[in-house]
């Protein structure tokens, strides 16, 4: 039995889960998400719990079982609390401006870099910090990764865009002559 898949999902007050043939709709106070139904799995809503089961014990079915439960749980958390990733910008002359759907960054290039977020993801800037937030965990993580990829942190001085909790392993510079 899948260790993740066998755990029931607690449905908080104000969240409704509608199970269809091809998709599961999760609606809550922050919005609505649609989770695709994985093959060989069934989802039932019983009271304040959603239970995901699988058809057989094949290895693929066991994998789909855990995935279906994780995707559904992420949707429930997303429509109640939402998701947030924070990025930190380090570097002399680096600047941030904007917010909402679009931010503009000076990252040491000859031109300013503009980033436009997809629908459902909000961007906020505070001094040298970018906050990416939204209800879809996958979209929030993807946007944060795309912003980080614009100027990855380098190992000598640590300049670039990094996650707030990320640790950059620093390298020693030139040794010099004796």
pLDDT in tens, 24-76: 999 999 999 999 999 999 999 998 999 999 999 899 999 999 999 999 999 99
Q: What is the reported pTM?
A: 0.90
Q: What is the dihedral of CA 10, 12, 14, 20, to 10 degrees?
A: -10
Residue 177 is encoded by which pair of tokens? 């002559």
Is residue 68 within 8 Å of 41, Cβ to Cβ? yes
Q: Please, what are the domains in the chain? A: 9-80 (3.90.930.12), 83-163 (3.90.930.12)
State the residue for tokens 């707030």: 164
């Amino acid at each position: 039995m899948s260790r993740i898949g066998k755990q029931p999902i607690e449905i908080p007050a104000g969240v409704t889960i509608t199970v269809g043939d091809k998709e599961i709709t999760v609606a809550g106070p922050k919005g609505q998400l649609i989770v695709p139904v994985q093959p060989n799995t069934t989802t039932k809503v019983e009271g304040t719990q959603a239970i995901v089961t699988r058809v057989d014990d094949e290895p693929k079915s066991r994998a789909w079982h855990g995935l279906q439960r994780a995707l559904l749980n992420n949707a429930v958390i997303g429509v109640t609390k939402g998701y947030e990733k924070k990025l930190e910008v380090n570097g002399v002359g680096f600047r941030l401006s904007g917010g909402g759907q679009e931010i503009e960054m000076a990252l040491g290039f000859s031109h300013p870099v503009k980033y436009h977020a997809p629908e459902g993801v909000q961007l906020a800037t505070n001094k040298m910090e970018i906050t990416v937030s939204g209800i879809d965990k996958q979209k929030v993580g993807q946007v944060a990764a795309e912003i980080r990829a614009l100027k990855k942190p380098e190992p000598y001085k640590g300049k670039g865009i990094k996650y707030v909790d990320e640790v950059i392993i620093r390298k020693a510079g030139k040794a010099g002559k004796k």
